[in-house]
Amino acid sequence: MSTLWIPLNHPRRTSLLIREKIVEGFKRGLVALEGLIAHGRGECFDYLIGESTQPFALRAIEAAVAALLLAKYPVISVNGNTAALVPKEIVELAREVSAKIEVNLFYRTREREEAIAMWLREHGAEEVLGVGEDASAIIPELFSERRRVSPRGILIADVVLVPLEDGDRTEALRKMGKTVIAIDLNPLSRTARTATITIVDNIVRAMPLMVKKAREMKKLSKTELQEVLRNYNNNQILQEALKHILNRLSELSQSKLTLL
């Protein structure tokens, strides 16, 4: 789809271009209708954060990459919105940290599973798990369609990256003893609060940074990576994200209300 209609100097151009990627993903059969609403919720939190990667997100990204590099069996879980927004980066990150890629959908349909897998292959993925009969294992105590996972993927993973998640699964995966990395613009969401590491940032900014960090941090020793994880405190990161939003709103509420 052409984005020529968005003027080059439009003040909200970046945001509009991202939105078009989601719409395009919907038209291609990757994104669920509900995914459009989820994107709007994300846009709102991005506005509050200031639409830029903040120090608390950078620290979470470093910890996340350390966890992925230290993992024995890392898996990147992909849903419709993630596939539409960052297909190239999913493949690149998986390559850098030797992770498996698995499709896992809340609004699961066979058509969408296959469309997402094909889209990822078009972007260089060699293997995509979780499609059709491959999603034959069940995550205990989870009742949504997200419970169906690949016995060669999420079921046996020790570290799982779950971008744009919808709640219950993070808790269920943690109960299974897995390290869960979330990317979620909403620091108040259940996913953000139950993940081991929460990256409060837009996935379109966070994923390229993760790829870059993975390339740099691959050179670190195991002890150095473990040190990064030891110094990481997710609760503190979430508090910093909330304080950042609070301070921003407080400053804005005291200044003359002009355009941001």
Residue numbers of the site for ligand PTJ (CB under 6 A)?
32, 34-35, 38-39, 41-42, 45, 79-81, 85, 105-107, 164-166, 183-186, 189, 202-204
Q: Given the complex with ligand PTJ, which of 85 and 214 has the nearer CB atom?
A: 85
Q: How far apart are CA 223 and CA 220, in angstroms?
A: 8
Least distance from ligand PTJ to the Cβ atom of residue 2, Å:
22
Q: How far is the CB of 220 from ligand PTJ (least distance, A)?
A: 27
In eight-state DSSP terms, residue 196 is S
Whichever of 34 and 216 has its CB closer to ligand PTJ, that residue is: 34
Find the shortest distance in angstroms from Cβ 61 to ligand PTJ: 13
Pick the closer one to ligand PTJ by CB: 125 or 225. Answer: 125
Nearer to ligand PTJ, 209 or 225 (CB): 209
CA angle 242, 54, 194 (to 5 degrees): 50
Contacts of residue 212, defined as CB under 8 A and 6 or more positions apart, other chains included, come to none
- What is d(CA 102, CA 159) in angstroms, rounded to the nearest whole number? 13
**Rounded distance between C-alpha atoms, residue 178 and residue 67, angstroms:** 11
- Decide whether 105 or 228 has the Cβ nearer to ligand PTJ: 105
The most distant pair of C-alpha atoms in the chain lies apart, rounded to whole Å, by 58
For the CB of residue 12, give the shortest distance to ligand PTJ in the complex, in Å.
Answer: 15
Q: How far is the CB of 222 from ligand PTJ (least distance, A)?
A: 30
Closest residue (Cβ) to ligand PTJ? 42
Q: Nearest Cα to 95, choosing from 120, 117, 113?
A: 120
Q: What angle do CA 64, 66, 67 make, to 5 degrees?
A: 65
Contact 140, 182 (CB under 8 A): no
